[in-house]
Structure 1
Amino acid sequence: MTDIVIMGAKGRMGDTLVRLTQQSDDLNLAGVLERSGCEEGLDSLNCVCGTSPEEVLTKVPGAVVIDFTAPAVTLKLLETAAVTGNPVVIGTTGMTNEELAQVEEFAKKVPVFLAPNMSVGVNVLLKILPELVRMLGPAYDMEMTEIHHNKKVDSPSGTALKLAQCMAEARGLVYDEVKKHCRDGIVGARTKDELGVMAVRGGDVVGDHTAYFLGPGERIEVTHRAHSRETFAQGALRAAGWIADKKPGKVYSMADIF
């Protein structure tokens, strides 16, 4: 039985994680956190409740914390977990390179699992897309689109960035040097190596990602559509059970589980 702590327990993802943890025979909901002013009703979950990592983690030693919040909140959580020793599963997106470097530093002190998308399908795409890039060759232009609900705060999505990065690397390119997150006005013809990533926001879309390979006389589109947040939540819970007995030293990912 793995003890679980859920960050942002009343949010869209947090609520799903709480429900699935309670339904599991292998997991125990040991604690929940929510920001101050939003914690009302959490005591009905019959577990440790609080508004700060310090308040909760000291009461649930060894419990795995699952976090789908915001970069600043995640880093604060890791700061506490590095002291208490609680493993952390991170689904937070929108982190800068500097913030990711901080995550790597914390991972030297406490087990950390990080994945911008925890669905099995997306992580299979991360294996397949590089092979497609190599087989098609440089005659095919590469682009990416992603669609998410109108409440999403970061853009492009962490999943789109991860997929686009793996495509760029497969062609021997440095993503930050070829990325195009915005095209507006007279920008000139598309350069040979650039890789555009366009974000669409609206409605309650859980997450759609399409990789395009546009070549002479044809194009290939590879699309992943998430129908429910449970897809990501189940992946996070699987990661939590997996990392519970792992040692610090690296940032673990879905590739390590596979």
Structure 2
Amino acid sequence: MTILNIAVAGSTGRMGRVLLEMIAESSDMRLSAALDQKDNPFLMKDAGELIGSPCGIPIKSDFVSALPGSDVLIDFTRPAGTLAHLAICRNAGIKMVIGTTGFSAAEKEVLKAASEDIAIVFAPNMSVGVNVMFKLLEVAASKLLNDYDIEIVEAHHRHKVDAPSGTALRMGEVIAQTLNRDLTKVAVYGREGVTGERAAETIGFATIRGGDIVGDHTAIFAGIGERIEITHKASSRKTFAVGALRAARFLATQRNGLFDMQDVLGLR
């Protein structure tokens, strides 16, 4: 059995710890590097201690020295950090699974350029269920066409810093592309006061932040006399980790290119 060497960025955070746990439980993966910011209080401590299972891998901040020997870096951090890590991985020939959200259009072009040299799975949501939902949205939009008003509602924990979520935006993109609409022109991200009647082509977004909500997403297709709601609710970050590890296994067979979870799951 081939063992994949996996590095984890943001290893001491909520998502990072879940990834450490899932890698430790995997029979075909081993943790090769645990990384975090320079001011992190856990630096040089055994990463396994974060999950109650010492592994001999110290948490480091120097990506350049820590990454050699890794096959894949899994990164669920923030855009600036991910782009810095991307440059190092591109230079070192290390593949990446990127679950970071909040990238600008220009930053996404940087990911695309780097994929000429390394293989990357980039998805705003690594959950297998969410990515099946994307496919369901495509089917729904292709059948309902322009006869239904479309609204997207998402809810996350109080610590999330970007809105709408990357998953919600991807939902809007899937629907807009299916309906031959330009999301940048038809998206409405907030309503207040006297807004006038709803424009038929609008795709609306509503954002909720509070507590420890892992992630809820609903697309509403509201017609005359009926409505269809397609919802995904995450109750544990493990669902994202399972998808990320599945993406890492997919990358083992890829030399370069930019992929998403639709590629990983064979939903194209």
Q: One fold, TM greater than 0.5?
A: yes
Asked if 1 retains the 8 angstrom alpha-carbon contact of 2:43 and 2:58, the reply is no
Aligned partner of residue 66 in structure 1, secondary structure: strand
Q: 2:19 — aligned with what? A: 17
Aligned partner of residue 146 in structure 2, secondary structure: coil
TM-score (norm 1): 0.95
The 4+ residue runs of structure 1 with deviation greater than 4 A are: none
Unpaired runs of 5+ residues, structure 1, are none
Distance of 1:28 and 1:197 partners within structure 2: 40
Larger deviation, residues 228-237 vs 47-56? 47-56
Match of 2:57 among 47, 63, 69: 47
* Cα shift readout 1:14-63 (whole Å, capped 9, x = no counterpart): 010011111111110110101112152653231253213213113x2x42
Q: 1:90 — aligned with what? A: 98
Aligned partner of residue 138 in structure 1, secondary structure: helix
Asked if 2 retains the 8 angstrom alpha-carbon contact of 1:7 and 1:67, the reply is yes
Displacement of 1:171: 1.1
Aligned partner of residue 83 in structure 2, secondary structure: helix
Asked if 2 retains the 8 angstrom alpha-carbon contact of 1:7 and 1:34, the reply is yes
**What does residue range 29-48 of structure 1 map to in structure 2 within 5 Å?**
29-40=31-42, 42-45=44-47, 46-47=56-57
1:165 matches 2:167: no
1:2 matches 2:9: no
Match of 2:197 among 189, 194, 200: 189
* Cα shift readout 1:83-123 (whole Å, capped 9, x = no counterpart): 11111100000111111011000111111110111111111
Larger deviation, residues 9-18 vs 177-186? 177-186
Match of 2:85 among 73, 77, 91: 77
Distance change (3 Å), C-alpha of 1:28 and 1:15: same
Aligned partner of residue 221 in structure 1, secondary structure: strand
| CA RMSD between the two structures | 1.3
Asked if 2 retains the 8 angstrom alpha-carbon contact of 1:48 and 1:56, the reply is no
% same residue: 39
Unpaired runs of 5+ residues, structure 2, are 48-55
Distance of 2:62 and 2:205 partners within structure 1: 36
1:147 matches 2:149: no
Displacement of 1:125: 1.3
Q: 2:134 — aligned with what? A: 126
Larger deviation, residues 48-57 vs 21-30? 48-57
Distance change (3 Å), C-alpha of 1:233 and 1:42: farther
Distance of 2:194 and 2:103 partners within structure 1: 30
Aligned length: 255
Asked if 2 retains the 8 angstrom alpha-carbon contact of 1:30 and 1:48, the reply is no
Q: 1:56 — aligned with what? A: 66
TM-score (norm 2): 0.92
Asked if 1 retains the 8 angstrom alpha-carbon contact of 2:12 and 2:42, the reply is no
Distance of 1:220 and 1:25 partners within structure 2: 41
Asked if 1 retains the 8 angstrom alpha-carbon contact of 2:46 and 2:59, the reply is no
Displacement of 1:217: 1.2
Asked if 1 retains the 8 angstrom alpha-carbon contact of 2:46 and 2:58, the reply is no
